[in-house]
A = this chain, B = another copy of it.
């Protein structure tokens, strides 16, 4: 069975050396002293290793069941859920006014990664509730906040998001679920929602569904959609649970992975719902939740890769197979460990260099969110809006590939379910699909985010890269291995942007045909920037003789792998982009 150890050393390096949180000047970051974050991460790591990780395989094997309308989660999930709630983990970065601990989003991100690595299907029950809290916090009335937030922050009640219907996923303008206004100001909600993660369970006392539906008087398409709160049990005035609402689970889907999470068909049969936010402005409210969810899904992508990598590495160290090309490394044994072989090393370095770069990217993104939420920094907001599809799309695509590589290290044993590597692959696969399939992320990036505020945010990104290179130009140790490749990648990214400007305005298909490659080109450039930053911090630590030299040397070697072997993919992506729409679109639909 796979095991998991939280990468707390790497997280501390990011927090205190790369991001240097204590001097970032962000309100609340003064609390993030190294001892404190170290203690929090250690504690999260302990629960992850001892409680959540051992339940990962149980969840996969048992899955969830639906009997007489009751959803049952796998054995052990309820006890683990209670422990997580009792520890206050759900509300770590939520509003203290409703029982949260008010920690920065950045710390929530680090802790979230740990829990997701250990047991993604389980953590989704908490993650969906967290997202629903954010939406209610941002768009709910004072009364709604008072009724729901404290219970949800404590995990006593949970939350879900209901968008997809059988005939429409991405294209939410086709939504048919109806909301009929009632005399008391509430609505009757009727319709079917599918693919509802954590749609119901036996963990929480109540489930607060956030549901997109169409109320009378709205326009067609997405303009006529509103967001409603539909509790499983209606809430009495005193906050106690009232009667059962007319919402039920129609089915639990059989999926490729994340079996421990109940993906439900939800039937709303005239269920009582309450408008949240403005009428017919439901999409805007839902986007609060979706943006948070998208960044969370990007995190899932690399968190699964981290967990899979740890187990591939352990196997590569233990399994004795073949001899090193330069002569036996384990002459007393029947063979050398797998890790001596260059191609095994290649697979491990691919994973390691991706995961560490991805973590830096996610943490940086979380810092931008804190800058916006805690300081009202609109530049940071613009930048993270631009980055959100990249974090979601790139980190999940590469995260999935990374789990496949991890499985490959085990050879035939990786294909056997008992070893647990298959589960990482099957679980990671969903991250490329849900919260907007990655093709939609690419479309969002190129069709919407690039041009946002006149292209100001992508220009700011280029400036940031340019400034970093300029500031560190005299740092010879950094220059050849890190700055030069970063410069090349950034040039490719700019050239791709230029291509879209010149060829995509008149013929949008020229841009849309290259959108996916652009997302990857952007992602690689971001990871290149992250690695350059990490290398700078590692070099500084070595120069200062701060101790733990092996850690910093490893960081540099891993970064050099990324810059030498992964980053040059930008050139291929640019080349694909510059072929424009013709190769993609010239085959007529009926000629396929």
Residue numbers of A with Cβ under 8 A of B are 164, 167-171, 174, 194-195, 253-257, 313, 317, 320-322, 325-326, 334-335, 337, 339-349, 352, 400, 404, 407-408, 411-412, 414-418, 422, 425-426, 429-430, 432-434, 437-439, 442-443, 508-509, 512-513, 515-516, 550, 553-554, 557-558, 560-561, 564-565, 568-569, 571-572, 575-576, 579, 581-587, 589, 591-592
A167 partner residues in chain B, CB cutoff 8 A? 320, 334
Q: Is the CB of B585 within 8 A of A342?
A: yes
Q: Is the CB of A583 within 8 A of B571?
A: no
Q: Is the CB of B439 within 8 A of A415?
A: no
Q: Is the CB of B509 within 8 A of A583?
A: no
A513 partner residues in chain B, CB cutoff 8 A? 342-343, 345-346
B344, B550, B561, B592: the one contacting A339 at CB < 8 Å is B592
Q: Is the CB of A576 within 8 A of B565?
A: yes
Q: Is the CB of A347 within 8 A of B586?
A: no
A408-B438, A571-B572, A581-B342 are contacts. A429–B415 as well, Cβ < 8 Å? yes
A171-B321, A408-B439, A516-B346 are contacts. A554–B591 as well, Cβ < 8 Å? yes
Q: List 16 A-B contacts (CB under 8 A).
A: A169-B411, A170-B321, A171-B335, A174-B335, A253-B416, A255-B415, A255-B416, A256-B426, A343-B439, A345-B587, A347-B439, A408-B438, A411-B437, A415-B433, A557-B586, A565-B579
Complex-state Cα separation, A342 to B516, whole angstroms:
10
Complex-state Cα separation, A220 to B177, whole angstroms:
72
Which of A341, A415, A581 has the most chain B CB atoms closer than 10 A to its own CB? A415
Instruction: With both chains docked as a complex, state the minimum distance between the C-beta of A7 and any C-beta of chain B, in angstroms.
Output: 12
A325-B509, A416-B255, A575-B568 are contacts. A342–B411 as well, Cβ < 8 Å? no
B168, B325, B582: the one contacting A512 at CB < 8 Å is B325
Q: Is the CB of B591 within 8 A of A557?
A: yes
Which chain B residue lies CB-closest to A329? B589
Complex-state Cα separation, A418 to B256, whole angstroms:
10
A418 partner residues in chain B, CB cutoff 8 A? 253-254
Instruction: With both chains docked as a complex, state the minimum distance between the C-beta of A57 and any C-beta of chain B, in angstroms.
Output: 12
Instruction: With both chains docked as a complex, state the minimum distance between the C-beta of A3 and any C-beta of chain B, in angstroms.
Output: 16
Q: Give the number of copies in the complex.
A: 2
Complex-state Cα separation, A591 to B551, whole angstroms:
8
B257, B346, B572: the one contacting A568 at CB < 8 Å is B572
Instruction: With both chains docked as a complex, state the minimum distance between the C-beta of A376 and any C-beta of chain B, in angstroms.
Output: 35
B174, B346, B352, B512: the one contacting A334 at CB < 8 Å is B174
Which chain B residue lies CB-closest to A334? B174
A321 partner residues in chain B, CB cutoff 8 A? 168-171, 174
Instruction: With both chains docked as a complex, state the minimum distance between the C-beta of A162 and any C-beta of chain B, in angstroms.
Output: 13
A322 partner residues in chain B, CB cutoff 8 A? 170-171
Instruction: With both chains docked as a complex, state the minimum distance between the C-beta of A348 and any C-beta of chain B, in angstroms.
Output: 6
Mostly helix, strand, loop or mixed at chain A's interface?
helix
Which chain B residue lies CB-closest to A579? B564
Q: Is the CB of A342 within 8 A of B584?
A: yes
A326 partner residues in chain B, CB cutoff 8 A? 508-509
Known: A167-B320, A325-B512, A408-B433. 20 other contacts (CB 8 A): A254-B418, A255-B415, A255-B417, A256-B417, A325-B508, A326-B509, A343-B439, A343-B516, A345-B513, A352-B592, A412-B433, A412-B434, A412-B437, A414-B433, A554-B591, A560-B582, A560-B586, A561-B583, A561-B584, A568-B575
Which chain B residue lies CB-closest to A432? B408
A174 partner residues in chain B, CB cutoff 8 A? 321, 334-335
Instruction: With both chains docked as a complex, state the minimum distance between the C-beta of A99 and any C-beta of chain B, in angstroms.
Output: 33
Which chain B residue lies CB-closest to A587? B557
Complex-state Cα separation, A325 to B511, whole angstroms:
11
Q: Is the CB of A592 within 8 A of B412?
A: no
Instruction: With both chains docked as a complex, state the minimum distance between the C-beta of A112 and any C-beta of chain B, in angstroms.
Output: 22
Which chain B residue lies CB-closest to A353? B583
A561 partner residues in chain B, CB cutoff 8 A? 583-584, 587
A174-B335, A256-B417, A317-B589 are contacts. A442–B343 as well, Cβ < 8 Å? yes
A343 partner residues in chain B, CB cutoff 8 A? 439, 442-443, 512-513, 515-516
Complex-state Cα separation, A313 to B443, whole angstroms:
20
A565 partner residues in chain B, CB cutoff 8 A? 576, 579, 583-584
Q: Is the CB of A569 within 8 A of B568?
A: no
Complex-state Cα separation, A442 to B430, whole angstroms:
30
Instruction: With both chains docked as a complex, state the minimum distance between the C-beta of A290 and any C-beta of chain B, in angstroms.
Output: 15
Complex-state Cα separation, A412 to B433, whole angstroms:
6
Instruction: With both chains docked as a complex, state the minimum distance between the C-beta of A220 and any C-beta of chain B, in angstroms.
Output: 10
Q: Is the CB of B584 within 8 A of A346?
A: yes
Which chain B residue lies CB-closest to A551? B591
Complex-state Cα separation, A414 to B426, whole angstroms:
12
A407 partner residues in chain B, CB cutoff 8 A? 429
Instruction: With both chains docked as a complex, state the minimum distance between the C-beta of A56 and any C-beta of chain B, in angstroms.
Output: 16
Instruction: With both chains docked as a complex, state the minimum distance between the C-beta of A389 and any C-beta of chain B, in angstroms.
Output: 13
Complex-state Cα separation, A568 to B583, whole angstroms:
14
Complex-state Cα separation, A364 to B451, whole angstroms:
48
A516 partner residues in chain B, CB cutoff 8 A? 343, 346
A321-B169, A348-B592 are contacts. A341–B512 as well, Cβ < 8 Å? yes
B345, B347, B571: the one contacting A585 at CB < 8 Å is B345
Complex-state Cα separation, A348 to B569, whole angstroms:
22
Complex-state Cα separation, A437 to B520, whole angstroms:
27
Which chain B residue lies CB-closest to A575? B568
A345 partner residues in chain B, CB cutoff 8 A? 513, 584-585, 587
